[in-house]
Amino acid sequence: MSIDMSQFYQVFFEETAEHLANMENLLLNIDIGNPDLEELNAIFRAAHSIKGGAGTFGFTDMAEVTHVLETLLDRLRKQELAPTDEMIDAFLKAGDVLKMQLAAHQDEGDVDEVQVVEVCELLDRLASGEASAEVVASTPDETTSAVEPAVSGHRWLITFRPDETFSADAEALEALFTDLAAMGTLERLSDGSDGCHRLALTGELGAEAIADTFAFVCEPEQVSITPDDGLAPATTAAEADDDAFGVFDGAPGSEHIGEDEQGFGFFDDAPGSERLAEQAHDQEDDGFGLFGGSPGMEQVAEVAEQERAEQAQGYGFFDGAAGTPAAADSPAAPAAAGGSKPPASRTPARAVPGGGGSSGGNGNKKPAAAAAESSIRVSVEKVDQLINLVGELVITHAMLAQSAEVLDPVTNERIFNGLSNLERNSRDLQQAVMSIRMMPISFVFSRFPRVVRDTAANLKKKVELKLIGEDTELDKGLIEKLADPLNHLVRNSIDHGIESPEQRRAAGKPEKGEIILRASHQGGNIVIEISDDGAGLNREKLLAKAAERGIPMAENPSDKEVWQLIFAAGFSTAEKVTDISGRGVGMDVVRRNIEEMNGRVEIESEPGRGTRILIRLPLTLAILDGMSVRVGDEIFIAPLTAILESIQPQTEQLKTVSGKGRVVHVRGEYLPLVVLHEVFHIDARCTRPEEGIVVILESNEGKAALMVDELVAQHQVVIKSLESNYRKIEGVSGATIMGDGRVALILDIDALVRLSQKGA
Amino acid sequence: MPKTILTVDDSASIRQMVSFTLKGAGYTVTEAVDGQDGLDKARSGSFNLIFTDQNMPRMDGLTLIKQLRAMPQYRSVPILMLTTESSEAMKSQGRAAGATGWLVKPFDPQKLLDVVRKVIG
């Protein structure tokens, strides 16, 4: 039977990408000084899973990298080595290499072999070069002097979990350690503060002798003794390849496979072995084994009896493994059957039963696999098509409703009922379809721990990143467009916001700066906040720079206006240009990107306390809550989120100010007046502001007043791109189709304000 | 009646491969995503053979095996560890926990089938 493995590749790719992301996350969160064993286990498990899959599906390059990665991780989680910054860096690099290899397997890039070799060598060196365990002096919590253990004889790793009464008895403990020390060179790898003592004993002695020593003080389950073979990573295994089964070169355990037959075996003595030889003996074969006498061997033996011929081809069974009711004397408790020691032929009593010390542990991997099974993958085009159709439906409804307006509501009650049902249903449908496109913002946020780490390291600053509201959902299109601007803002915060550790200390702040990325819903908007506790913006410096650059500023500008200067093209206040945030190219691009998403950027800053940048975005790029306004015969849509209020100004409120054109004086503020019919050259019905309506708008350029003939109504409008259907027009962000079938333009408030200032 | 097999692995790709291979050979296969899930599924079903990974979130393979062996209906059902770790230490832990045998990852589908045929026919 030949099975095409490529059909499983996609799942493997997705799963591996998830493991890599997860691993990176965990690595970035690790506390070097006090690593969480559970986290180390979870990282190990991720590497381990990748290795298993890569080996199975034939991606040997990835399996090789994960193998060296796993070797080092294994030593960390067994607490034979303490994690260092260098290791974390090496792990991150290995993660990058794996990502590169993964991409190459998906035909999305090439592998740089030099990097692969480099990272493998680095990991090898870290795992073996520093192989000597750190010896903990008898005082706990001091992992200072690393003493080379005596190399003669065997090195045994002992994990000892005494019960409470014993561990409370310091004298008894010391006596035990003295006994052990008499047998060879004793190193205490942990102080036992977590209830578990980890020891290493080197000398000419066997596990039995050690076990005997412990037998006086505790139950056998409380101690596990394993030979320390971590010093020699498995690299020697010859490729064991026979017709049907292959074993990975250098895969862990394959060195044993060489000795056994090849990696398959049964446990001797496992329950079930009484009846037949097969049942009673360990059986080993390439990559598979049965424990003779283990539970279940009865069935195996039966099958074997029937199929003797096949059986001869090569499996191995262990003599006397636990599990077969007859072989084990205590069939009721097979777990305890480990006590009936197998003829110690191949297994030199490496672990005392019950010593599950190195077992995987429980990670925090979400039940993603289970969730994945109840989801389907659909191409984005299909979803977009659906959204378009819903948009058409909304427009059709608007047309129907408009046509029905002439009907008598009493005689046509059923039509009106139907229309209102249609409206409700299409709104629900629209929401449901929109939610398909919604993704949690963690898709963007998740890259930042790494960005912050790398950028801060580059600039020799200490920065901690906090992510808040990662589950906040927004449109996939927005998520994609948000990545670059956010990246820029975060790097900018580290570069210009957060001070050097020395400066921070001098200012009485903690050395470690903090950057918070927060996402939340506010009304119909998504608000993304990037705040730092750095030096804040410098008003004088910004103003001086503006003067130098010839950027026109009002005489006594508000802080808000000054802060907006950082978004001006070619504006940088950095004393020296770094490769991180460049030469001021970028911040203007950031704002433009955000404005393209119909978003707004606000800055708040306090000298010495830090800077907060707020990005407000609409929930989606497809639908807009708008106010329709009339100018002459034309209808325009103003985004509702920008509208503060509407007034009919009195003549005395209107003034002309040199350099600013006409302004409207509203409650002590002078707002620039944008006359829509002048911007678009339309014959308006009202030419004087006091005849029409002035809509007060909030924009990136500050508040402004927009003069129109009249307000018509509030709508939800479906946004159609003008650029893809016609061409870009300054002052207009898109178009929509109204209920009567006419096209209305959607106003781009920021651009309009700029446009009218230029004209003034 | 087809023989029933439970495969416990946190890796979706391995699970899919095992399940596809064995279903193709006429076995009835149930998948579980970790030790705890495996235990729940074992409790509510009945299986002729169980494959389990070792390193899994929530509950590892050894713990699962011990728990299964404590249940009367699984006292003598073959349980194989499907694991990348085939060190002697791992094997003796497996033996002590009550595993019937092991199969080293990576393996190919044919190997898996050979082993299953050997163990439950």
- Nearest Cβ partner of A257 from B62, B86, B106? B86
A297 contact residues in B (CB cutoff 8 A): 78, 100
Q: Percent of chain A having pLDDT more than 90?
A: 4
In a domain, A607, yes or no: yes
- Cβ–Cβ contact B119 with A under 8 A: yes
Tokens of A111: 């592998």
What pLDDT is stored for residue A570 in this prediction?
A: 65
CB atoms inside a 10 Å sphere around CB A425: 12
What pLDDT is stored for residue A294 in this prediction?
A: 72
- Cβ–Cβ contact A338 with B under 8 A: yes
Helix axis angle, A476-492 relative to A448-459, nearest 10°? 20
What pLDDT is stored for residue A637 in this prediction?
A: 92
Which of the residue ranges A149-163, A319-333, A445-459, A613-627 would you say has the lowest mean pLDDT?
A319-333
Whether A662 and A563 share a structural domain: no
Q: How many residues does chain A have?
A: 760
Question: How many Å apart are CA A269 and CA A341, to the nearest integer?
Answer: 8
- Cβ–Cβ contact A293 with B under 8 A: no
Which of the residue ranges A57-66, A224-233, B99-108 would you say has the lowest mean pLDDT?
A224-233
Cβ distance A256 to B20 less than 8 Å, yes or no, reads no
A258, pLDDT greater than 70: no
Tokens of A743: 């096209």
The residue among A352, A369, A389 that closes a domain is A352
**H or E element, residue A56:** helix A37-56
- Distance to chain A for B29, nearest Cα, Å: 16
Whether A250 and A346 share a structural domain: yes
Q: Which of A247-251, A583-587, A660-664 is modeled with the greatest confidence?
A: A660-664
Whether A537 and A651 share a structural domain: no
Phi, psi of A527 (to 5 degrees): -115, 125
Question: How many Å apart are CA A726 and CA A722, to the nearest integer?
Answer: 5
In a domain, A363, yes or no: no
Residues 6 or more apart in contact with residue A225 via CB below 8 angstroms? A156, A157, A158, A207, A210, A211, A349, A350, A351, A352, A355
The total number of structural domains in chain A stands at 6
Helix (H, G, I), strand (E, B) or coil at B95: helix
ipTM rounded to 2 decimals:
0.72
The residue among A618, A644, A669 that closes a domain is A618
Q: Please name which of A660, A682, A683 lies closest in space to residue A670, comparing C-alpha atoms.
A: A660
Whether A710 and A751 share a structural domain: yes
Cβ distance B105 to A244 less than 8 Å, yes or no, reads no
Tell me what the pLDDT averaged over chain B comes to: 84
For A147-253, where are the alpha helices, taking DSSP H only? 164-168, 170-183, 207-215
What pLDDT is stored for residue A306 in this prediction?
A: 61
Which of the residue ranges A47-61, A330-344, A378-392, A504-518 would you say has the lowest mean pLDDT?
A330-344
In a domain, A246, yes or no: yes
Phi, psi of B101 (to 5 degrees): -175, -170
- CA closest to A271 among chain B residues: B76
What pLDDT is stored for residue A440 in this prediction?
A: 87
A227 in Cβ contact with A80 (< 8 Å): no
A244 contact residues in B (CB cutoff 8 A): 108, 110-111, 114
- Cβ–Cβ contact A377 with B under 8 A: no
Tell me what the pLDDT averaged over chain A comes to: 73
CB atoms inside a 10 Å sphere around CB A255: 19
Identify from B40, B51, B91, B120 which residue to disrupt to test chain A contact, counting A C-beta atoms within 10 A and taking the largest count.
Answer: B91
What pLDDT is stored for residue A305 in this prediction?
A: 65
Whether A314 and A325 share a structural domain: yes
Whether A581 and A470 share a structural domain: yes
Q: How far is CA A637 from the centre of its chain?
A: 39
Residues 6 or more apart in contact with residue A609 via CB below 8 angstroms? A533, A536
Question: How many Å apart are CA A553 and CA B71, to the nearest integer?
Answer: 81
A192, pLDDT greater than 70: no
Whether A749 and A651 share a structural domain: yes
Question: How many Å apart are CA A282 and CA A292, to the nearest integer?
Answer: 4
B61 contact residues in A (CB cutoff 8 A): 359-360
Q: What is the pLDDT of residues A305-338, one digit of tens each?
A: 665 544 444 343 444 443 333 333 333 333 333 3
A253 contact residues in B (CB cutoff 8 A): 84-87, 90, 104
Question: How many Å apart are CA A485 and CA A586, to the nearest integer?
Answer: 8
Whether A603 and A633 share a structural domain: no
Confidence (pTM): 0.47
**DSSP code of residue A262:** S
The residue among A105, A138, A171 that closes a domain is A138
Which of the residue ranges A44-48, A181-185, B20-24 would you say has the lowest mean pLDDT?
A181-185
Considering only CA atoms, give the Rg of chain A. 36
What pLDDT is stored for residue A340 in this prediction?
A: 39
Residue A220 binned pLDDT confidence (cut-offs 50, 70, 90)? low
Q: What is the pLDDT of residues A31-69, one digit of tens each?
A: 777 778 788 888 888 888 888 888 878 888 888 888 888
Whether A519 and A424 share a structural domain: no
What pLDDT is stored for residue A695 in this prediction?
A: 92
- Cβ–Cβ contact A334 with B under 8 A: yes
What pLDDT is stored for residue A516 in this prediction?
A: 92
Q: Identify whether A343 is preceded by a cis peptide bond (ω within 30 of 0).
A: no
- Cβ–Cβ contact A12 with B under 8 A: yes
What pLDDT is stored for residue A282 in this prediction?
A: 67
Tokens of A734: 């898109």
A251 in Cβ contact with B104 (< 8 Å): yes
A141, pLDDT greater than 80: no
- Higher pLDDT, residue B114 or A620: B114
- Report in angstroms the alpha-carbon separations of B73 from A296, A329, A580, B42: 11, 19, 64, 10
In a domain, A524, yes or no: yes
Question: How many Å apart are CA B100 and CA A273, to the nearest integer?
Answer: 10
Which of the residue ranges A14-23, A274-283, A558-567 would you say has the lowest mean pLDDT?
A274-283
What pLDDT is stored for residue A337 in this prediction?
A: 38
Specify the CATH number for the domain of residue A501: 3.30.565.10
- Nearest Cβ partner of B100 from A257, A307, A323? A323
Helix (H, G, I), strand (E, B) or coil at A291: strand
What pLDDT is stored for residue A525 in this prediction?
A: 76
Cβ distance A288 to B104 less than 8 Å, yes or no, reads yes
* Residue environment code for A7-36, b if the CB has 16+ CB neighbours within 10 A, otherwise e: ebbebbbebbbbbbebbbbbbeebeeeebe
In a domain, A122, yes or no: yes
Helix axis angle, B61-69 relative to B88-97, nearest 10°? 30
Which CATH fold topology does B4-120 show? Rossmann fold (3.40.50)
Whether A327 and A338 share a structural domain: yes
A230, pLDDT greater than 80: no
Q: What is the pLDDT of residues A639-665, one digit of tens each?
A: 888 888 898 888 888 888 776 678 888
A250, pLDDT greater than 50: no
Interface of B with A in 20-49 (CB under 8 A): 20-21, 24-25, 33, 37, 48-49
CB atoms inside a 10 Å sphere around CB B61: 31
Q: What is the mean pLDDT of residues A606-628?
A: 83
Q: What is the mean pLDDT of residues A677-701?
A: 84
Question: How many Å apart are CA B101 and CA B94, to the nearest integer?
Answer: 8
In a domain, A400, yes or no: yes
Identify from A268, A319, A330, A358 which residue to disrupt to test chain B contact, counting B C-beta atoms within 10 A and taking the largest count.
Answer: A358
Tokens of A276: 């037949």
Whether A556 and A642 share a structural domain: no
Specify the CATH number for the domain of residue A696: 2.40.50.180
In a domain, A257, yes or no: yes
Tokens of A49: 């899973």
Cβ distance B118 to A307 less than 8 Å, yes or no, reads yes
Whether A198 and A270 share a structural domain: no
Q: What is the mean pLDDT of residues A350-363?
A: 37
In a domain, A83, yes or no: yes
Residue A572 binned pLDDT confidence (cut-offs 50, 70, 90)? low
What pLDDT is stored for residue A326 in this prediction?
A: 37
Residue A689 binned pLDDT confidence (cut-offs 50, 70, 90)? confident
Question: How many Å apart are CA A8 and CA A15, to the nearest integer?
Answer: 11
B66, pLDDT greater than 80: yes
Q: Which domain holds residue A92?
A: 5-138
- Higher pLDDT, residue B88 or A399: A399
Question: How many Å apart are CA A379 and CA A297, to the nearest integer?
Answer: 49
Question: How many Å apart are CA A431 and CA A177, to the nearest integer?
Answer: 68
Specify the CATH number for the domain of residue A188: 3.30.70
